Amino acid sequence: MSISFREGDAATNRGGVDITISLTAEEAEAIGGELGPLADAMAGALWALAVLRTDTVPADQDDGPGARPDRPATADTWVTAIHDVEQRLLPRLEGIRDAAMRAHAASGGSYGELARALGVTARSTAQYRRDTLQARMPSEWEIWALTGKRPTQD
């Protein structure tokens, strides 16, 4: 897997940035049909971040002539941003993190290593988080991370 950036005049939208994530055939096959929804959820989070920092919804470049111009963010804008992050992106990221934490434990990983990965200073915090995770059944999104089986609610 690799990521590349094309910026400025070289970008599709001159002055902007193109982000390209390249996957190997094996990585693409492993992720499967979730490539589109996951990329779309990530794009939604980047869109929300840009709107937060500018308080402006950018014009749609794909709409061609007559597209709506940039416009101020509204309550509906924030509902979309919250929904995209809360219901589309965070559950997937939490599922990936939880599955990775279980895999780390299963491979003999230490609490000290986990503490460093989690960015916590106390080893006991990492121990508590892993023990709490292992005491419960995997979530639907953790199962999704492992198998690709999508939860009933998305």
Q: What is the pLDDT of residues 9-38, one digit of tens each?
A: 888 877 888 999 999 999 999 999 899 999
Q: What is the tens place of the pLDDT at every residue in 105-125?
A: 999 999 999 999 999 999 999
| Residues counted in the chain | 154
Specify the pLDDT at position 64.
Answer: 52
pLDDT band at residue 132 under the 50/70/90 scheme: very high
* Secondary structure element (H or E) that encloses residue 139, with its range: none
Domains of the chain: which residue ranges?
A: 35-147
Q: Give long-range contacts, CB 8 A cutoff, 24+ apart: 23-30.
A: 27/1
Residue 71 has pLDDT above 90, yes or no: no
Specify the pLDDT at position 46.
Answer: 92
Provide the whole-model pTM: 0.85
CB-based contact 110:91 (threshold 8 Å): no
Residue 80, classified by CB atoms within 10 Å of its CB into exposed (0-12), middle (13-18) or buried (19+), is middle
What would the mean pLDDT of 94-107 be, rounded to a whole number?
A: 98
C-beta atoms surrounding 97 within 10 Å = 16
Residue 61 has pLDDT above 60, yes or no: no
Specify the pLDDT at position 83.
Answer: 94
